[in-house]
Chains A and B, each alone.
Chain A
Amino acid sequence: MNMLLETKRLETDVLIIGGGTAGCFAAYTLGRKSDKKILIAEKSNIKRSGCLAAGVNAINAYIVEGKTPQDYVDYARNDAEGIVREDLLLTMSRRLNHVTEVMEGLGLVILKDENGKYVTRGNRNIKINGENIKPILAEAASSQTNVTILNHVNITDYLLEDGCVRGAVGFDVNRPVFYEIHAEAVIVATGGAAGLYRPNNPGFSRHKMWYPPFNTGAGYAMGILAGAEMTTFEMRFIALRCKDTIAPTGTIAQGVAAKQINSRGEVYEKKYGLTTSQRVYGTVMENRMGNGPCYLKTDTISKEQELDLYKAYLNMAPSQTLKWLEAEKGPSKENVEIEGTEPYIVGGHTASGYWVDEERQTTIHGLFAAGDVAGGCPQKYVTGALAEGEIAAEGVLRYLNQKEKQCSGQRNVQEKVDSTEKKREYERFLSQAPSFLDIEQIEEAMQKIMDQYAGGISTDYQYNEAKLQKADENILLLQEKLKELSARDVDDLLRIYEIRERLIVCRVVIAHLLARKETRWHSFGEKYGLSGEKQ
């Protein structure tokens, strides 16, 4: 077996890697504000790719009447125990309402009261029908005349020259074609990383996870390989979700005001605090003390409320409605059991990602980051990702207008990465004979190591230095073994690169967990026996 790839060389002014929430909005903004040539390279198809595929339930980041952007900054800083960049939070918060209005203009249905005002849910949320939010965004991006969409192309590495980004390389996930894309500036918007840890449902339904299993941390990995600075990977995101279906719980908790209770019927949420990590931790602790299972108390809701919940879940997480209906036990009959997920790395909820400046430029010149891939700015959600897409787009335009660009001499950034070497790397996987190890085995091994030694579900998310060191040694070994894998076709090649990315991200997660000496957040980054101590 010896597969060679045909080469396609493309040139553009701006390359956007990942046509998700932030990527599509950046393209839309660049389309409206400039006549630059824009290219989106997307590993699947922008119509339903990324976090928004099934739809979303609400706009979770909005400045409601009587509140200010600074209030949102304060909330996010408090929730993250101070580990945030306030400048990034503020620049994002100032645009939350503006991008919401743009989305409404593009066709997003938002609930309004009789005076035409958005109906709010709690302090920061507004109610929408988010089922088709992704097709709306995809249409907004692709209808711009200067925007070209390249679907089904998986990007793996940046092209660098004199320490400046010059484009990226990737391959078609259906055909043996190598893509070499040259650009003046690049926006990376590949989302966060799922699938690092052994998931809640490790068997048949292994991909029934909250975060998209197809967001495998490509953008982080590319940046790490190129020498970009990354921040706060030790602040892992663990979501509190409906058991088994891993569907969001906010809709129930906020929608019908359901409280977290243990199997004795005691409301436990106040005991542990109400930050995102404390809600997970409380559930872990109740189980550890023998008070599990834990639930959201819904058995007092009406039939009408139940039907509204069925509909709300069909608009974002249809498995939950299916589960209720097939068990013939809806939430009005039975409380909804909840559990914590495996840890994800996601800069839109916690603060992991690229270190960026206010314009969302990374430490590599010409490379901008937006959405879940960008760090320092948690609680972004959909509107924050849109806001960052817009900020990055404006930053790119200013960058392109600069006469002299200073590139080389940046700390740690690789001087040169060229395309021939990368093409050879792909072809090697496509040519070498299979070994006893295969893609699935490496994936399982990685998830097991992370679960047991780097604070996964099986250790109640805790770890210590000795375990982390062991995790690092073992992941390093897998990275070596990965080179021996063989790809029968480009579909296998996609899966090899997805694991390569996750292994790279795993090592950075471990290094950052090692670096933070205190338990800053329960569950998200918790050392054995150091509960609550801060330095």
Chain B
Amino acid sequence: MSIRIDKEKCIGCGRCIEACPGNLLKKDQNGKAFILHMRDCWGCTSCLKECKSSAIRFFLGADIGGRGSALSVDIVGDRYLWQVTDSAGKVRSIEVNKKEANKY
């Protein structure tokens, strides 16, 4: 499991680099973010939540059941819009409101 950063979308703001609890993200020579230690990602999704350009997606490695889908999130006010896109491009969305407590 790890993340992938879309260089086209990344504007080099550095927010993800600042937030990663494992110091795994760095800037390349073109000022774009990249993950230096691919296998060291914990999967906390902090970087996804920090990125305002929706440049970061999260995936599961095949060793833990990954099948090529990716998870992304857009935050609008209190609403977290999570999306899972599979390898054929099919999208599933789930919205979670920050102000609503878990039922469980």
Contact = CB atoms under 8 A, between A and B. Distances in A.
Contacts of A61: none
Given A109-B100, A129-B100, A312-B103, A48 B21 contact: yes
A387 to B, nearest CB: 22
Majority SS at the chain B contact face: loop
Contacts of B64: 201, 205, 208, 244-245, 319, 323
A44 B20 contact: yes
Which of A54, A151, A256, A494 has the largest number of chain B CB atoms within 10 A? A54
B55 interface: no
A53 B42 contact: yes
Interface string B91-103: 0101010111111
Contact of A326 (B20, B36, B60, B100): B60
B58 interface: yes
B1 A308 contact: no
Interface in A221-275: 244-245, 251-252, 254-256
Nearest to A20: B21
A452 interface: no
A314 B18 contact: no
Interface string B40-67: 1111111000000000001111111111
Contacts of A244: 60, 63-65
Interface residues of A, number: 63
Contacts of B21: 44-45, 48-50, 53, 212, 214
Given A207-B41, A311-B94, A129 B23 contact: no
A346 interface: no
Given A207-B40, A318-B58, A319-B1, A251 B69 contact: no
A326 B102 contact: no
Given A204-B1, A207-B22, 18 more contacts: A44-B19, A44-B20, A44-B22, A48-B44, A53-B44, A119-B101, A151-B18, A205-B64, A208-B64, A245-B64, A245-B65, A251-B104, A311-B102, A314-B80, A318-B82, A319-B1, A319-B43, A322-B69
Interface of A: 43-45, 47-50, 53-54, 57-58, 109-111, 119, 121, 127-132, 151-152, 173-174, 201, 203-209, 212-214, 244-245, 251-252, 254-256, 307-312, 314-315, 317-319, 321-323, 325-327, 491, 494
Interface of B: 1-2, 18-23, 26, 36, 39-46, 58-69, 71, 80, 82, 84, 86, 92, 94, 96, 98-104
12 contacts: A47-B18, A48-B19, A54-B44, A54-B46, A127-B103, A129-B99, A204-B63, A212-B21, A244-B65, A256-B104, A321-B94, A491-B26
